[in-house]
Amino acid sequence: MRLTDLLHPHLDGVTTVVDATDGGLDLEPYLHLPRDVALHHGERDIGESELVIVSFGPDPALHGTETDCLAVLQRMRPGGRGLILFGHRGPELPYHRLLDALVAHRCQVLRAAPLDYVHLHAAAVIVRTDELRPPHDWFGRPVPAEGFATALRIADEYVLADLVARTLRARVLDLERDAEEAERARGPVHEEGLAERLAAAVRDKDQLAAALHRARDRVGLLEARVAMLEGSTSLRVGRALVSAARSPRQEAPRLPRELYGLWRGRVRSRSLSASSRAEREAGLRELYGRWRGRLKPGAVAPPVTAARGTARRAPAGLPAHVAVPDARMHLAHRAFASTPRDRMVIAGVLTDTTAADLAADAVVNRALPHDGRLIVQRSDPDALVVQLSACTGEGPWSLTGTGLAPDLDRKLAELLTETRAAGRACVLWRDGPLSAAPGLTRLAWDAVLDADAGVRLASLDPAAVGRQRLREAFRVDSTRVRLSQLARRIGAPDPLDRRQVCVLADPRDRAGIARLTEQVLSQRHRPAEVVVPDPTGLDELAAAGVAVRTGAPLAPWVADWTDLTEDRPDTLLLDLMCAQEYSGADAVGSTPAADDYTFVPELRPLLVRRSLLTSGAPPEAWARQGHRLFAWCGKEPT
């Protein structure tokens, strides 16, 4: 609630508002007082036609102190009204410290409500009276009751509200106790899981080191054999003969001279000492024996593969251009980028439908039982997400966690170990009863997401489900909302940031500032920023969490509200963003023919992608340049 919504219903008969706040608050931009109500500052007695504003909160420099608030209550006279602003949040509101002073100075609380500001969280309207006055409802209207009936209403409402509050407090205490017990129980399990993961990492390291040592032995043996073969006279003679056979006219005349040189070299090699020949032969026998010792009797030597980044030689008898298969799997993934990530990267055990829905807002690499570890190694995901439905339904991971497929359980455990070794989180997406796959409870998860898979707005039919269902899905049930819940748990980029809207406006007077503030703060999909030529007087927007700036927009979407005389409903930005997310368009707007939820070649833009707006192209040329334009008429379908 805004401060004006709470204050203005109680300004009947008030001619002066006194700002008695002693902290660092400047309340004038929040009040938007009528022209016949004057605003004064300082200390003075509060009479019948006056209303005083005082604040009280945890930060004395900003909100003031409890002593200042009590001093204002002493200066109130019969008929005087007051507005107490609280810097405390609702559950932390220390109303008991003011209750005795309110009763002692005959001040009755007519209405109390929460405020939607970053430094003011609640407020209460009081009146100094000598008789009990009827309280006010949520809309600020007095409840029709007098005398004893008013006292009964207040007493009954207090007892019933206290009953509800006690139930909620007991529920909160139970949840806190359960959370503490779960954390204590999770401690030893987490430590045990950490030790298991460390031991598995050590085993993997030893296996890799042994494989590397065997590969080096094989490479050394093969290099020695290749050197021996290349230096043999038979190979050199064969090369000379083949070369002469291919080009008889050019190579044949040189053949006798080459053969004579080879014969002379062989004669010189025979003159080597017997010890040199013995050492060379002993080295070859040692390498060959080490290689044979690695193989079991009857085993076949593993194929020799070229090192990464080097050319592979074709075996003897094959042309050089023939490729030799190396039995290795090469992955093509989309997660690599040389810039900071702005989209979440997921390695997932997911159903087909969920993977397709998530791919609209995240990079999804589906892990299969045979390549899951390689997917994690190559794609470097933000998290490994295991969906319960993918383990209990149809698909490659079917029956995982049920005890009927122990090989899949083992592969999933290895996948979790590989993910944690890479420093990434493992998340269980519990979108069904865990009793269907009880084996998943024995795995150590970094986070658990209890929610269904959500729905993509593009899969809904606006004419069938209605606009209200689209709004509900956009805010609560969409796939993007589910991804946002996952992002908060793993610290990944929040996909809801792509829903941020910037409002362009140009208020020129107090009335324009008040109207802009009202229209922005009333939106059910509130803008993230407001860009104006001069931010003076828009402190209430900043206090409500809306960034007020000058210059170019920063949000992904821009709405032009330069004409502040136009009426804008509180669902305007919500419906526009629903239409955009449903269509994936670059601009959403209206047409003279009142087209609704259809692509059009031209429109009056109401919501535009920032990159399109800053490109400088006129709206008439957007469709010709390949941009998608989607029409929205703003009327509920009948």
Predicted pLDDT at 571:
95
Between the alpha carbon of residue 49 and those of residues 12, 42, 84, 112, 310, the distances in Å are 9, 17, 17, 21, 91
CATH of segment(s) 345-461: 3.40.50
What does the pLDDT read at residue 264?
58
Three-state SS string over 25-62 comes to CCCHHHHCCCCCCEEEECCCCECCCEEEEEEECCCHHH
What values do phi and psi take at 384, rounded to 5?
-100, 120
Token pair of 561, please?
A: 């509200």
Contact 221, 291 (CB under 8 A): yes
CA 185 to the chain's CA centroid: 29
CATH number for domain 3-144, candidates 2.40.160, 3.40.50, 3.30.70, 3.30.750: 3.40.50
Distance separating alpha carbons of residues 439 and 401, to the nearest angstrom: 4
Q: What is the mean pLDDT of each run of 10 residues along the chain (638 residues)?
A: 90 92 83 91 91 91 88 92 90 84 91 90 92 73 72 78 77 80 62 66 78 81 76 68 66 62 54 54 57 46 40 44 46 50 88 92 92 89 94 92 92 93 92 90 90 91 91 94 93 92 95 95 96 94 94 96 94 96 96 94 96 93 95 77
Per-residue pLDDT, 497: 94
Backbone angles phi, psi at 195, to 5 degrees: -65, -40
Query: Residue 345 CB: number of other CB atoms within 10 A?
Result: 22
**In which residue are the tokens 């009990």 written?**
132
- Following CA atoms 89, 91, 93, 97 in sequence, which dihedral angle do they give, to the nearest 10 degrees? -160
3-state secondary structure of 112: strand
DSSP secondary structure letters along 578-630: HHHHHHT-SEEEE-TT---SEE-S--EEEEEEHHHHTT---GGGTTTTT--EE
Give the tens place of pLDDT for each residue, 551-564: 999 999 999 999 99
The pLDDT value recorded for residue 161 is 77
Question: Where in the chain are the domains?
Answer: 3-144, 190-293, 345-461, 495-631
Terminal Cα-to-Cα distance of the chain (whole angstroms): 32
Is 448:468 a contact under the CB 8 Å cutoff?
no
Query: Do the domains 345-461 and 495-631 sit in the same CATH topology, yes or no?
Result: no
H or E, element range at 524 = none
Q: β-pairing, 598-599 with 629-631?
A: antiparallel
DSSP secondary-structure letter at 142? B
Among residues 622, 590, 543, 632, which one has the least CA distance to residue 63? 543
Q: Does domain 495-631 have CATH number 3.40.50.300?
A: no
Widest pairwise Cα distance in the chain: 132
Q: Are 351 and 359 in contact (CB under 8 A)?
A: no
CB atoms within 10 A of CB 33: 16
Question: Cβ(87)–Cβ(58) under 8 Å?
Answer: yes
pLDDT of residue 219: 82
